[in-house]
């Protein structure tokens, strides 16, 4: 065998140890690199997951628009349709049956109280009057004879020439004759009054607005309207105000009347009478308005718009109808707190003003009110809030009088003023 040199073995052992140490350090460095890379990757994954979660949470967070309530206006204007009528109007009928002999007034004529308008011929009624007068004369003669006979029998009774029974019979005949005489007088008076009804006269001063008969026409008592008479120097309007506005109507209050065909002028009237109760059928209150018409520019029967100013002493807040949440429970409104968390407040409603509603209690003018809240909106839900500025509509002019809805306050910001 060949012998190994001692020097050679001595030199091989240190080199192997160095190689082993180098390999260990390389392995440790590789493991460290892998650990660092893992940590870096874990950190990046965590950040990406957190960013994704935040992005998802932000995308799921609801966005809402909010507005502020406004103080209620103490004066609200409403416009209601109405019909002009004469201050006094009457449809004239005949009280006697006959034929129209003549008419003396026609459409548009102005007449005075008691002035003759038409004449009716009643031949049968005239004959009845003559017969009643003849019967009256007969009753007068019979009553005179019964009175004379009773006086003679009074004298005979004093002389004991007749019995008391015979005298009582003569007295009874006289009483009967007196009664028959009164009946005949009443019949003659009735027929004479019917003769007076042959003359159709004006019950008051005014203007003839319709004539419905001609000469020779057959008229019947209380059936055929002959004339329609109206006072046009002063007109009146009968108006029915809905219950929600009924308390704002006061006697003596001035109103404005507009006509579509007279755009350049507004007429002023005054509330003369106000009903003391609300009609339970229509839920409205009747109001009568007097309107002077000295120049005759306004015509009875014309359609008009009546503008009323209604005063209210209720301190309320005005909100759009879109903020209300209506259901089986009481009306609620979604309100945002300082952290934009949703809170539901139960409110008490006042008057329904059309596009807006009065709120009597439950919110303040500093509260942020969610406009058109979704059905899925939940209590304490955090939302992204954005204030919505509502633009004011222009005020309607005379050409907009076809709108019968009240002109309501519009909302613009937390410190703005309500306007109508």
pLDDT band at 9 (very low <50, low <70, confident <90, very high): very low
Q: At what angle do helices 164-196 and 123-158 cross, to 10 degrees?
A: 160
Query: Is residue 66 a contact partner of residue 369, using CB atoms and an 8 Å limit?
Result: yes
What 3-state DSSP class applies to 185? helix
Residue 325: pLDDT above 50? yes
The predicted pLDDT at position 179 comes to 92
| pLDDT (0 to 100) of residue 411 | 34
Q: Please report where in the chains the tokens 């209300």 appear, as a residue.
A: 324
Q: Given this model, what pLDDT does residue 398 score?
A: 38
Please tell me what DSSP assigns to residue 306.
E
**Under DSSP, is residue 405 helix (H, G, I), strand (E, B) or coil?**
coil
What whole-number distance in Å separates Cα of residue 196 and Cα of residue 220? Answer: 15
Residue-wise pLDDT for 36-63, tens only, equals 888 888 888 888 777 767 666 555 677 8
Taking CA atoms, 338 is separated from 61, 342, 369, in Å, by: 17, 10, 12
* pLDDT, tens only, 146-178: 888 888 888 888 888 878 888 888 888 889 989
Look up residue 142 and give its two tokens. Answer: 């019979």
Average pLDDT over residues 292-320: 84
Q: What CATH number is given for 91-226 in this structure?
A: 2.40.50.100
Q: Where are the domains of the chain?
A: 1-60, 63-71+314-400, 80-86+231-311, 91-226
* Secondary structure (3-state) at 82: strand
Place 229 in a pLDDT band, splitting at 50, 70 and 90. Answer: very high
CATH superfamily of this structure's domain 80-86+231-311: Efflux pump adaptor protein, beta barrel domain (2.40.30.170)
3-state SS assignment for residue 178: helix
Q: How confident is the model at residue 404 (pLDDT cuts 50, 70, 90)?
A: very low
Q: What tokens appear for 235 in the block?
A: 């007109």
Q: Percentage of residues in the chain with pLDDT exceeding 90?
A: 15
Asked whether the beta carbons of 385 and 367 are under 8 A apart, the reply is: no
pLDDT of residue 270: 92
| pLDDT at 237 (0 to 100) | 92
Instruction: Say whether pLDDT at 288 is over 90.
Output: yes
For residues 196-219, give the mean pLDDT.
88
Contact 297, 277 (CB under 8 A): no
Q: How confident is the model at residue 17 (pLDDT cuts 50, 70, 90)?
A: confident
- In a 10 Å sphere around its CB, with 0-12 CB exposed, 13-18 middle and 19+ buried, how is residue 280 labelled? exposed
Fold of 63-71+314-400: 2.40.420
Mean pLDDT for all residues in the chain: 81
Looking at residues 307-321, what average pLDDT do you find? 79
How far apart (Å, rounded) are the C-alpha atoms in residues 358 and 76?
Answer: 12
Does residue 250 have a pLDDT over 60? yes
For residue 152, give both structure tokens: 């003679």
Residue 393 — pLDDT band, cuts 50, 70, 90?
Answer: very low
Q: Please compute the mean of the pLDDT values over residues 52-75 and round it to a whole number.
A: 73
Q: In this predicted structure, what is the pLDDT of residue 378?
A: 84
Provide DSSP, 3-63: PPPHHHHHHHHHHHHHHHHHHHHHHHHHHHHHHHHHHHHHHHHHHHHHHHHHHHHHHHS-E
| pLDDT, tens digit, 9 for 90 and up, residues 357-385 | 888 888 888 888 998 888 888 888 888 88
Q: Residue 13 burial by CB count (10 A; 0-12/13-18/19+): exposed, middle or buried?
A: exposed
Residue 408 has pLDDT above 70, yes or no: no
Q: Which of 24-28, 276-280, 299-303, 360-364 has the lowest mean pLDDT?
A: 24-28
The pLDDT value given to residue 58: 57
pLDDT of 150 reads 85
Q: Which uninterrupted H or E stretch holds 152?
A: helix 123-158
CA 185 from centroid of its chain's CA atoms:
57
Separation between Cα atoms, residue 204 and residue 193, nearest integer Å:
20
Please tell me the predicted confidence (pLDDT) of residue 418.
35
Mean pLDDT of 118-143: 87
pLDDT surpassing 60 at residue 401: no
- For residue 73, is it left (φ>0), alpha (ψ between -120 and 50) or beta? beta
Q: Are 162 and 154 in contact (CB under 8 A)?
A: no
Q: Give the contacts of 188 (CB within 8 A, at least 6 positions apart).
A: 129, 132, 133, 136
pLDDT tens digits along 267-281: 999 999 999 899 999
The answer, yes or no, to whether residue 350 has pLDDT greater than 90, is no
């Amino acid at each position: 065998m060949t012998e190994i040199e001692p020097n050679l073995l001595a030199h091989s052992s240190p080199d192997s140890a160095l190689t082993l140490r180098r390999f260990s350090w390389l392995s440790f460095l590789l493991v460290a690199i892998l650990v660092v890379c893992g940590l870096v990757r874990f950190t990046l994954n965590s950040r990406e997951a957190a960013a994704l979660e935040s992005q998802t949470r932000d995308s799921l967070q609801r966005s809402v628009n909010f507005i502020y309530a406004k103080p209620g206006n103490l004066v609200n204007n409403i416009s209601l349709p109405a019909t002009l009528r004469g201050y006094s109007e009457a449809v004239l009928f005949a009280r006697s049956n006959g034929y129209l002999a003549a008419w003396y007034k026609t459409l548009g004529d102005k007449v005075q109280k008691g002035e003759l308008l038409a004449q009716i011929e009643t031949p049968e009624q005239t004959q009845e009057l003559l017969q009643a007068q003849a019967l009256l004369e007969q009753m007068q003669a019979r009553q005179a004879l019964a009175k004379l006979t009773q006086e003679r029998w009074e004298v005979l009774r004093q002389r004991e020439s007749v019995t008391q029974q015979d005298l009582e019979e003569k007295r009874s005949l006289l009483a009967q004759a007196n009664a028959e005489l009164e009946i005949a007088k009443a019949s003659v008076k009735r027929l004479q009054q019917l003769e007076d009804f042959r003359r159709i006269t004006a019950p008051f001063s005014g203007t003839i607005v319709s004539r419905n008969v001609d000469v020779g026409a057959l008229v019947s008592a209380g059936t055929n309207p002959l004339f329609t008479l109206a006072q046009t120097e002063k007109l009146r309007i009968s108006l029915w105000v809905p219950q929600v506005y009924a308390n704002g109507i006061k006697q003596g209050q001035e109103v404005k009347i507009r006509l579509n065909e007279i755009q350049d002028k507004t007429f002023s009237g005054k509330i003369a009478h106000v009903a003391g109760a609300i009609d339970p059928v229509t839920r409205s209150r009747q109001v009568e308005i007097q309107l002077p018409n000295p120049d005759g520019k306004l015509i009875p029967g014309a359609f008009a718009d009546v503008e009323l100013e209604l005063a209210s002493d209720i301190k309320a807040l005005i909100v759009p109808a879109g903020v209300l949440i209506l259901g089986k429970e009481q009306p609620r409104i979604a309100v945002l707190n300082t952290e934009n968390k949703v809170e539901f407040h139960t409110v008490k409603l006042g008057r329904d003003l059309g596009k807006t509603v009065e709120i009597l209690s439950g919110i303040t003018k500093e509260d942020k009110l969610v406009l058109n809240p979704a059905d899925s909106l939940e209590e304490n839900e955090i939302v992204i809030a954005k204030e919505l500025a509502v633009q004011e509509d222009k005020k309607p002019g005379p050409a907009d009088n076809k709108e019968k809805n009240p002109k309501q306050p519009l909302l613009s910001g937390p410190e703005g003023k309500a306007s109508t």
